[in-house]
Structure 1
Amino acid sequence: MASWLPKVRVAACNVAPVFMDTAKTVHKTIGLIREAATNRADLVVFPETYIPAFPLWAAVASPIDNHSFFGRLAQESLLIDGKEMRSIQQACAKNKIFAHVGFNERSHYSVGCIWNSSVLISDEGKILNHHRKLQPTFYEKLVWSPGDGAGLKVVDTQRLGKIGSLICGENTNPLARWSLIAQGEQLHVTTWPPVWPTRRVQTAPTESEEGASVGKQYDNVAANRTRTAAHCFEAKCFGVLCSAYMDKEARDMIVKHAPSSAETLDNVTQGASLFLDPTGSQVGEQIQGQEGVVYADLDLNACVEPKQFHDTVGGYQRFDIFDLKVDRTRRGPETSFE
C-alpha cells in the first residue's frame, strides 16, 4: 500500500481536573503535555471542559441551590486569550506537541456567560481552531450558553493530517458531523464528561411514574463509543474518544453540596477513553474507571481503501439532491456593532 499520509501517535488523557481550581488544573495539564511528548505522542487530548470541571452538580441538585457552584465556575473559567491559555500554548511549543483541550470559556463581555469550548493548539503553540459547543445538552443548558459554527473546521496539518473535533452530544448531530466529513476529515477527536447521570438510583417506580415506562440510567460508555464509531465508519477516519474521570474530591464536594446525590454518583458508569479505526473497530489502548493516559499509533493511510465502498463526500453522495450550508460566523456582542 502506498504510504503518503502521516502516521500519528495520539495520547488520550482519562483524567480528573483539580476540581474547580484552574491554576492547579493548568499546572496538571502542562505536566501531562510533557508526559505525552516524552512518550513520543504527536497529539495529546484532554476531556470535555477539563478545565476546571464538568458541571455535574447541574444533574443531581436543584437549579435554585446551585448558585454558588455557578459563581465559582464563572470565576474559574478561562478567557481564550488569557494567561492560562498562553501557558498551555507555551507548553505545546516547548514540548513540540499538538494538544486538544476542553475548557470552560468565559466572555469578555458578560461575567455570567460561559461556553463549553475546546481548542486545538499546534506544536508551535498556535491556536489552530477554537470551537464552542453548538448546543448544551439536557441539564447543561443551566450552565452553558449555545455556541456557533465558527469552530466547525477541519484543520489541515502536515503532522496530524486533517483533524476535526466535536464535543460530547454534538457527535449525535448528523449535520455537524457531516460538515466535518465534507472537509476531508482524517482524524476525529471526541471529548466527554466523567459520568452523565440521567436518573436517580431506584428499585421501583415512584408514585408519579406508576404506570409509566421507567427508563434506564444512561450508558455513557456504550453511547459514546457508538456515536464515535458511527462517525469513523461514515467518514472513513480514525477516532479519539477521550473521557474525564470523576475522582473522590469532585464526588465529595458535590455530595456535600447535595447529599441526596451520593447514591446516584456512586452507581453511574465512569467514562472510557479509547481509539477507533475507519471501520469503527477499536485499536490501541483503552482505560476506564481510573486516571491514566492511553496511546495509539494510527496510520492515516488506512482511511483510503474504505473510501472505495462508501465515500459520503465523493462518489457516494448526491450533491444535486442534498445541499448543506454552514454559517461559520463567530457570534457575540462584539460582532453586533461592527
Structure 2
Amino acid sequence: MADYREFTLAAIQAAPVFFDRDASTEKACALIEQAAERGATVAAFGETWLPGYPSFANYPRDPQWGKLAARYITNAVEIPSPTTDKLCAAARKAGLDVVIGVVERDAVSQGTAYCTLLFIGREGVILGRHRKLKPTRVERIMWGEGDGSSLRVYQRDYGRLSGLNCWEHNMVLPGYALMAQGAQVHVAAWPGGTGARHHFLSQAFASQGACYVVCVSGIERPEDHSDASRALAGNWDGLSCIIDPWGNIIAGPAEGETILTATGNSEAIATAKVVCDVAGHYSRPDVLQLRVNRSPSRRLCEVENLEA
C-alpha cells in the first residue's frame, strides 16, 4: 500500500535589513533556524527579500534616487557567491528546504539585477533559481527579464516544488507551465500584502494546480529604513497565508513579523488532482497547448574563423 507523507510548510514574514546584503543574510539564517524549530520541511521568504524590495524606484526624480540605486545593485546577490554559501549552510544545518527571494546581480554585466527566487535544498545545495519573467510597472527600471530556462519544478521527498514571483501569477501561462510539470508545493512570493488580489491569485493557483501554496509576503515600514531611503520607503504589511489544494486558506493571513506554519499531506494533493488534473485528464492538448522556450537568453554570440 502506498504511504502518504506529511510535511510542514512555513511562510517567513519579516522585514530584511534593507539594502544591506550581509546583515540581511545573517537575519535570514537566523529565521531559517527558527523555522526549523517550528518543524518546517520547507520555508519560504517574500519577493526580493534579500536585500529588500526597491520601493524607491517609484521616485526616479528624487535627489537620493541615484545613490539608492547604486547601493541597491552593490548589495545584490550573485549566484553562486559567499552569500548563497551562507544560505546553503543554514539550510543544511536546519535540515529544511528554503525558497528565498533575492535581488540577483548579473555576474558579468554587474549593472543588471533580476527578481529571483532561489531554491536551496536541505542538503545545502542550490537546486535552481527562477528569474521573474516580466517586472511590473516601475520594477522595470530596476530589474531585467528572466527567460524560460528557469520555469521548472524540483523533485523533493515531499513532492514537486515550484515558485513564482508576484504578478507572474497574473500572467496565467507561467503558472500552467509549472502545473504541467506536476507542481505539488508552490511558493507564491510577494513584496508585501497587496490586499485581496494576492490572496485570490494564490488561491486560484492552488485550486487549479491542486497543490499547496505558500503565499508569503515581506514587510516594509518606514521605520525599517535607517537612512535616506526612509523617505522613499513603502508601507507593506505581510498578510501571508498558506493554502490547501482546494484553494482554502489553512493558516493566516498574518500581520507583523512572524513565521506562519501549516501541515500538508500528499493524500490531499492526490485527492485534489484526481478530481481536477489540469495537466492530465482535465486538459485538451489536442485543442490547446503551451510551448515553452527553454533556451537561456544570450546577449553575446561569439563567432570565430569567419571566412572573408
TM-score for the superposition, normalised by structure 2: 0.92
For the pair 1:131 / 2:130, whether they are aligned, the reply is yes
For the pair 1:236 / 2:236, whether they are aligned, the reply is no
Matched to 1:62, the amino acid is: R
- Alignment gaps of 5+ in structure 2: 304-308
For the pair 1:227 / 2:192, whether they are aligned, the reply is no
Displacement of 1:61 in angstroms is 5.1
Partner residue, 1:13: 12
Alpha-carbon separation, structure 1, partners of 2:167 and 2:141: 16
Alpha-carbon separation, structure 2, partners of 1:19 and 1:302: 38
Displacement of 1:292 in angstroms is 1.2
Matched to 1:79, the amino acid is: E
Q: Where do 1:1-338 residues align within 5 Å?
A: 4-60=3-59, 62=61, 66-158=65-157, 160-194=158-192, 220-250=194-224, 253=227, 256-258=230-232, 265=234, 270-288=237-255, 290-333=256-299, 336-337=301-302
Alpha-carbon separation, structure 2, partners of 1:255 and 1:106: 20
TM-score for the superposition, normalised by structure 1: 0.84
Matched to 1:302, the amino acid is: A
Matched to 1:74, the amino acid is: I
Alpha-carbon separation, structure 2, partners of 1:98 and 1:169: 24
CA contact (8 A) 2:59 2:65 kept: no
Runs of 4+ in 1 over 6 A off after TM superposition: none
Alpha-carbon separation, structure 2, partners of 1:135 and 1:63: 25
User: What is the aligned-residue identity percentage?
Assistant: 27
Residues 1:12 and 1:323: Cα distance change in structure 2 (over 3 Å)? same
Displacement of 1:67 in angstroms is 1.3
CA contact (8 A) 2:10 2:44 kept: yes
- Alignment gaps of 5+ in structure 1: 196-219
CA contact (8 A) 1:133 1:147 kept: yes
SS of residue paired to 2:160: strand
Displacement of 1:69 in angstroms is 1.2
**1:144-166: CA deviation from partner (whole Å, max 9, x where unpaired):** 011111211011111x3111110
Alpha-carbon separation, structure 1, partners of 2:19 and 2:229: 15
**1:182-216: CA deviation from partner (whole Å, max 9, x where unpaired):** 01111110111126xxxxxxxxxxxxxxxxxxxxx
CA contact (8 A) 2:45 2:100 kept: yes
CA contact (8 A) 1:15 1:244 kept: yes
Alpha-carbon separation, structure 2, partners of 1:301 and 1:63: 53
Matched to 1:238, the amino acid is: Y
Displacement of 1:90 in angstroms is 1.0
CA contact (8 A) 1:10 1:297 kept: yes
**1:27-83: CA deviation from partner (whole Å, max 9, x where unpaired):** 001111111112211111111101111001112553775211110011000110110
Alpha-carbon separation, structure 1, partners of 2:85 and 2:258: 25
Alpha-carbon separation, structure 1, partners of 2:14 and 2:236: 15
Tell me how many residue pairs correspond in the alignment. 303
CA contact (8 A) 2:12 2:216 kept: yes
Alpha-carbon separation, structure 1, partners of 2:269 and 2:302: 44
